[in-house]
Amino acid sequence: MELLQKIADKQARIGVIGLGYVGLPLAVEFARAGFTVVGYDVDASKTATLNGGVSYIPDVPTEHVAGIVKAGTFRATTDASELATVDVIDICVPTPLRKTKDPDMSYVVQAVEVTAKVLKKGQLVILESTTYPGTTDELVQPALEAGGLVAGTDFYLAFSPERVDPGNPQFQTKNIPKVVGGMNEASTRAAAALYGSVIDTIVPVTSTRVAEMVKLLENTFRAVNIGLVNELALMCARMGINVWEVIDAAKTKPFGFMPFYPGPGLGGHCIPIDPFYLSWKAKQSGFEARFIELAGQVNSSMPEYVVTRVADALNSVRKSVNGAYIHVLGVAYKRDIDDMRESPALDVIELLKRKGARVSYSDPYVPHLHHGPVDMAAISIDEALAAGADCAVIVTDHAAFDYPAIAARFPLVVDTRNALKGLRSPNVFPL
């Protein structure tokens, strides 16, 4: 296979469609390994930033981007025709949910249309976007074959789920095992060879559908277990039991238990979304995923419960949510990153505003928050206190926050992340 030899010699040219949290780290790994990489994105500000040698993703150091730009192994573009020169096209675009909780495949469709226009014999096309089982062979393959080339014979086609965990200092693109499933053995072999040149461990599976299902299982596992522990947290609150102490004691068991933690709701691109992809596809097959959907309902209700805890805190000092000044601490979906995708803080803020509260926020990673009707700039904790904040709500437990000082200085604190580590104080209200 000519492509395998090109990969082995680092002569294969690689195109990456989508330069976000998945595509950019992958493109940088390929370029740093010596491959020539063309990164395509419709956002001209992103391509200009990258071509200037600057990274906009915290997990990708600017010096890495500057190095590959200077070496000439990476270039970003908004011109899709430049993908005509590549041997591999890796599609890394978002796959959000519609408001109806069914998959929005528009970004994948657009990326596949771009790919179809430049598709040539001997090329390898890989989809990395998280999606439902059957996407590669039901949607991608027919669109690519419409021009006359046959997948598996004229070109290679595979699916390899992204496993990015933003902000994780231990596991990043290079050392996260890569699952690869091709539409035939030759496609799997080609994709495995490509990723094996830059990633430590490759896990081949027998089909694209298996690879697609792997990612959904991983994140549905997390969503269901988080749903379980969120429900346990609600139960413990009713029974006057500290759920965090329960979890800490349970996790001392050296087998048969894995700790998950309650919180204000699910965030990020994958965990709040992937289970709905799976349940949607299951319905197409006449199967009702009741367990998965129930967990989704529990998790999606948590922002409302957070607002209820704010109301409880205010009631303890004979105040109402309506007219109160609430300061939210942390609006990114997880600690120490700037990613706002599906952050529960967005729902918490919107719900508080609907109930008549005045809301501000602090977040060292998100200086400005714009989401739907919410358009706010971050302020400091000192500014919030000076303006008379009635209650602080810890939604994201960034390491930069001084939690003892927060507990001491705010009249009331609602702690959704156990950031105060069980501090027993009349002004602190745990989840």
Q: How far apart are CA 29 and CA 175, in angstroms?
A: 11
Note whether 182 and 210 are within 8 A (CB): no
Give the H/E segment covering residue 71. helix 62-71
- Amino acid letter for position 108: V
Looking at residue 122, the DSSP 8-state letter turns out to be T
**42 CB burial (10 A radius; 0-12, 13-18, 19+):** middle
Task: Tell me which residue of 297, 395, 302, 304 sits closest to 355, measured CA to CA.
Answer: 304
Q: What would you report as the CA-atom Rg of the chain, rounded to the nearest whole angstrom?
A: 24
- Alpha carbons within 13 angstroms on the beta-carbon side of residue 179 total 22
User: Which residues neighbour 304 within 8 Å (Cβ) at sequence distance 6 or greater?
Assistant: 347, 351
Query: CB pairs under 8 A, 24+ apart, for 46-53?
Result: 46/19, 46/76, 47/19, 47/76, 47/77, 47/78, 48/76, 50/19, 50/24, 50/74, 50/76, 51/75, 51/76
Please identify which of the residues 92, 236, 270, 391 carries the catalytic annotation.
Answer: 270
Looking at residue 85, the DSSP 8-state letter turns out to be G
The gap from C-alpha 51 to its chain's centroid, in whole angstroms, comes to: 25
Backbone angles phi, psi at 202, to 5 degrees: -115, 135
User: Which residues neighbour 312 within 8 Å (Cβ) at sequence distance 6 or greater?
Assistant: 429
Q: Is 236 annotated in the active site?
A: no
As given in the structure block, the two tokens for residue 18 are 């989508």
Counting every residue, how long is the chain?
431
Q: In this structure, are strands 156-159 and 178-182 parallel, antiparallel, or unpaired?
A: antiparallel
Going from the C-alpha of 166 to that of each of 59, 91, 205, 333, the distances in angstroms are: 7, 19, 25, 10
Task: Provide DSSP, 280-337.
Answer: HHHHHTT---HHHHHHHHHHHTHHHHHHHHHHHHHHTTT--STT-EEEEE--SSSTT-
Residues involved in catalysis: 270
